[in-house]
Amino acid sequence: MSTDQELFAAGLAIYQKIVRENLMFHREVYGKLHEILVREAPKHFRFLDVACGTASSSAAALIGTDIGRYIGIDISTQSLDVAKQALAMLSCPVELRCQNFADAIGQWSEPVDVVWVGMSLHHLPSAEKLPFMQRIRAILPRNGLFLIWEPTLLEDEDRAAWLDRFTAIRTEWSALTDEEFAAVDTHIRAADYPESKADWAALGNSAGFGRMEELYMMASRMGRVYKYN
């Protein structure tokens, strides 16, 4: 029987292959994040990377920006060990915290200027997304930025149809073995709770954000990047 460490290592290897092969369009998503940070983030901004994982894509996006401090939160010590190396390229202070991201935000009291959530908020059921976003609104200054990259239902699509649409992507993910794709598909069916664009907007409005803007849609139409302010 595989140990938890072996199972995690296998999952991390699959994720790193997905990023390397750009199967989820990490290059385009984090390129867009870089553009927004250069254009709109305040000087010496404090960047909170929620559920940062290995932080490799975030680190690349932050190069060339006026970042003053980086804080990353993730529940995986193994991912944070990788993140520490990836973030060494930044010239600002870096802090990594091992904690459940929802618990961390629920207790947060430190000032930040930009909050980024990359493919993680959808793990919360719909009823838990609003309190999380309300806490984000409370900790951001008036000119702060809240940016998310999350799975998004098409108009009139439900979760079951979205899940089946992901399964149909198999032919486009030829870089993964059948076993690797099955592992991803199983994880998504167990843990992903996407919202429609209208629902993502309504959540932001209910949380106190005045406006939501769609910045990018993945070519697969499985997810989108949104900006709230």
Q: What is the DSSP letter of 200?
A: H
**pLDDT for res 58:** 98
Across 163-189, average pLDDT: 96
Provide the H-helix boundaries in the chain: 4-20, 26-40, 56-62, 77-86, 101-106, 126-139, 159-167, 178-191, 197-207
d(CA 40, CA 18): 29
Residue 151 token pair: 């799975």
pLDDT of 5 higher than 80:
no
pLDDT of 4 higher than 50:
no
d(CA 98, CA 9): 17
Contact 146, 203 (CB under 8 A): no
Local confidence band at 97 (pLDDT 50, 70, 90 cut-offs): very high
d(CA 228, CA 129): 14
| pLDDT tens digits for range 134-173 | 999 999 999 999 999 999 999 999 999 999 999 999 999 9
pLDDT of 49 higher than 90:
yes
Average pLDDT over the chain reads: 94
d(CA 38, CA 33): 9
